[in-house]
């Protein structure tokens, strides 16, 4: 009986502490009375828990109540604030050909950013992990912080990821999921990059039923249904394997199931430019060097060959949107990734092709505003959500020192 009572008391203290840390993460400076109004706790409980959080390194006292200009007589109210030195979070976009990291404080304010290109196939798993570790160290140095300040690092990778951060067997997926948890400092969570893109978009524009299509060289979807991220037991939700059948990709040599819009624009341009009978400015570029940006720029200038490629991409997007809307009742489809800033002509074409006789509202087709940083920004958002959900899992730097 004594053990049960002690355990219950400890659990209650943890619940109350978590509630006050969450409140502190949202407020700049607060009094016990303000915390009482939000948490429903008594004054004695709030003061006791705040004292404990000061000792633990989460909070610090912000000075007396007169500092705000008040003239009330009597003992000034004790004021608290989140301790800035409690720690930071790190987001890492560990793509196939690039690494991007952001260091942010516990309110999400970005303190340092670094990016570098990487040849994952040349450096292998160990090289990816080592490069990530060094890039994070440099970003922390830029922010005036060290590895010991990191409470949580969230890593986004182009591979399916289950709830435990593991990917299914496969040479490419094994390379992308490079054992970051064992090589990076502190607590590490690994997540699918498209899922993180969806988390970034959800925080930016809340929508209970939304698909974020992360597209560039590769293609994947982060799916939010009824306000929850869909993952699947092996992390396979959103892998878009249905495209192989939907587009007959097995029989079209320049159209692969995993190809993103950037890869498709480049492949279609290079493979058909010589058979195209009309004029196109893309022929003026060195053979084999036409890329997606060239195609989109030519289309903006009215090049008919490039416009045809845009139309094909729009038709592909419209089919994907219809499938997602039909299966999951998706209301909003967001195109994300570096190509998102140039994707509007594709969206315009796709909107015209959406069927209007289904009896159901058409999904909204929009471009992300985050550009190439959507994954790493989603990683930061995910890290902050983890901390807010279970603050007791994390130790502020003062407690670890």
C-alpha of 221 from chain center: 12
pLDDT of residue 109: 96
218 neighbors 96 (Cβ within 8 angstroms): yes
pLDDT tens digit sequence for 285-334: 987 889 999 999 999 999 999 999 999 999 999 999 998 998 899 999 99
Average pLDDT over residues 332-343: 94
Output the CA–CA distances (angstroms, integers) from residue 87 to 52, 109, 225, 374, in the order listed: 17, 12, 33, 23
Which segments within 312-386 are labelled E, that is strand? Answer: 332-336, 364-367
The pLDDT-based confidence of 252 (bands split at 50, 70, 90) is very low
Are the CB atoms for 375 and 193 separated by under 8 Å?
yes
**Confidence at residue 71, expressed as pLDDT on a 0 to 100 scale:** 47
94 pairs with which residues across the strands? 99
For residue 70, pLDDT beyond 60: no
Give the pLDDT score at 186.
87
Coarse DSSP helix, strand, coil percentages of the chain, rounded to the nearest 5 percent: 50, 20, 30
| Under 8 Å between Cβ of 224 and 206 | no
Q: What's this model's pTM, rounded to 2 decimal places?
A: 0.90
pLDDT, position 44: 93
Q: Between these two residues, 214 and 66, which has the higher pLDDT value?
A: 214
Rounded CA-CA distance 289/266 in Å is 9
User: CA 236, CA 132: separation in Å to the nearest integer?
Assistant: 25
Q: Is the pLDDT reported for residue 245 higher than 70?
A: no
Q: Which two tokens stand for residue 124?
A: 């292998």
- The rounded percent of the chain whose pLDDT value lies above 70 is 91
pLDDT band, very low/low/confident/very high, at 254 (cuts 50, 70, 90): low
pLDDT at 134: 98
Per-residue pLDDT reduced to its tens digit, 105-141: 999 999 999 999 999 999 999 999 999 999 999 999 9
**pLDDT (average), residues 164-174:** 94
Q: Strand order of the sheet with strand 110-117?
A: 110-117, 98-104, 88-94, 150-157, 187-192
């Amino acid at each position: 009986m004594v053990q049960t009572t002690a355990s219950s008391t400890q659990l209650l203290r943890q619940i109350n502490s978590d509630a006050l840390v969450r409140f502190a993460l949202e407020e700049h400076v607060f009094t016990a009375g303000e915390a009482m109004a939000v948490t429903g706790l008594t004054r004695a409980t709030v003061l006791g828990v705040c004292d404990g959080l000061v000792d633990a390194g989460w909070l610090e006292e912000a000075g007396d109540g007169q500092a705000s200009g008040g003239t009330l007589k009597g003992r000034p109210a004790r004021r608290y604030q989140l301790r800035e030195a409690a720690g930071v979070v790190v987001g890492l976009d560990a793509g196939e050909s690039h690494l991007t990291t952001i260091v942010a404080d516990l309110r999400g304010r970005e303190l340092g950013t670094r990016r570098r290109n990487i040849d994952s196939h040349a450096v292998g798993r160990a090289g990816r992990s080592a490069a990530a570790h060094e890039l994070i160290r440099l970003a922390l140095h830029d922010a005036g912080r060290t590895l010991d300040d990191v409470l949580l690092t969230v890593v986004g990778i182009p591979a399916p990821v289950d709830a435990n951060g593991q990917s299914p067997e496969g040479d490419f997926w094994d390379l992308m999921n490079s054992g970051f948890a064992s090589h990076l400092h502190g607590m590490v969570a690994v997540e699918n990059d498209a899922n993180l893109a969806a988390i970034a978009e959800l925080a930016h524009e809340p929508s209970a039923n939304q698909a974020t299509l992360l597209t560039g060289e590769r293609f994947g979807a982060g799916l939010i249904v009824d306000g929850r991220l869909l993952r699947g037991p092996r992390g396979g939700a959103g892998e878009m394997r249905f495209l192989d059948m939907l587009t007959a990709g097995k029989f079209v040599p320049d159209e692969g199931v995993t190809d993103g819009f950037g890869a498709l624009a480049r492949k279609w341009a290079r493979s058909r430019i010589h058979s195209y009978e009309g004029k196109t400015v893309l022929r003026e570029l060195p053979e084999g060097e036409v890329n997606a940006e060239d195609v989109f720029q030519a289309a903006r200038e009215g090049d008919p060959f490039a416009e045809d490629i845009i139309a094909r991409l729009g038709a592909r997007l419209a089919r994907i949107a219809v499938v997602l809307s039909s299966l999951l009742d998706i209301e909003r489809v967001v195109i994300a990734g570096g190509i998102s800033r140039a994707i509007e002509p594709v969206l315009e074409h796709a909107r015209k092709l959406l069927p209007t006789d289904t009896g159901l509202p058409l999904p909204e087709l929009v471009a992300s505003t985050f550009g190439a940083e959507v994954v790493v920004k989603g990683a930061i958002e995910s890290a902050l959500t983890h901390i807010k959900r279970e603050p007791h899992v994390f130790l502020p730097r003062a407690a670890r020192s």
